[in-house]
Amino acid sequence: MFENEKTWAKAVLNNSTDEFHSKFDRAIDLVKKDFGKSYPIIIGGKEIHSDNQFQVRSPADTRIVIANFPLATKEDTIHAIESAKDAFPRWSQASYQKRIEIFRECADAFSSDKFQLAAMMTYENGKNRLEAMGDIDEAIDFLRFYADQLELNQGFSKETKSASTNEKTRSVLKPYGLWGIISPFNFPSAIAIGMTAGALITGNTAVLKPSSDTPLSAFMFVETIYHKLTPAALNFVTGAGSVVGKTILESPLVDGIAFTGSKEVGMSGFRSFVEKKPRPFISEMGGKNPAVITASADLEKAAEGILRASFGYGGQKCSACSRVYVQKNIANQFMEKLVSKVKSLKIGHPWEKDVFLGPVINEDAVKKFQRASDIAKKDGKVVFGGSVLKESDYQHGYFVEPTIVADLPQEHELIREELFLPFVCVSQFDSFDEAIKMANKTNYGLTAGIFSKDQKEIEAFFEKIEAGVTYVNRPTSATTGAMVGAQPFVGWKESGISGKGAGGAYYLLQFMREQTQTRCE
Domain positions in the chain are 7-285+497-520, 289-486
CA distance 314 to 319: 12
pLDDT in tens, 107-140: 999 999 999 999 999 999 999 999 999 999 999 9
Return all residues near 308 (Cβ < 8 A) that are at least 6 apart.
475, 476, 477, 478, 480
- Output DSSP code: residue 340: H
- CA distance to 87, 130, 194, 233, 329, per residue, from 97 (Å): 19, 34, 19, 17, 59
Check residue 393 and give its pLDDT: 87
The structure's pTM equals: 0.97
- CATH class for the domain made up of 289-486: alpha beta
Residues of the chain with pLDDT under 70: none
* Nearest of 465, 475, 519, 488 to residue 198 by alpha carbon: 488
65 with 57: CB under 8 angstroms? yes
Q: Which of 82, 124, 138, 318 is catalytic?
A: 318
Q: Is 106 a catalytic site residue?
A: no
CA distance 285 to 116: 30
Check residue 308 and give its pLDDT: 98
Residue type, 155: G
Q: Is 284 a catalytic site residue?
A: yes
- Count CA atoms within 13 Å of residue 434 on its CB side: 12
Check residue 339 and give its pLDDT: 98
Check residue 484 and give its pLDDT: 98
Beta bridge partners of 256: 179
User: What percent of the chain has pLDDT above 90?
Assistant: 99
Q: Which of 5, 82, 138, 284 is catalytic?
A: 284
- CA distance to 302, 330, 458, per residue, from 455 (Å): 16, 19, 5
Check residue 1 and give its pLDDT: 81
What CATH number belongs to 7-285+497-520? 3.40.605.10
Check residue 62 and give its pLDDT: 98
pLDDT in tens, 294-340: 999 999 999 999 999 999 999 999 999 999 999 999 999 999 999 99
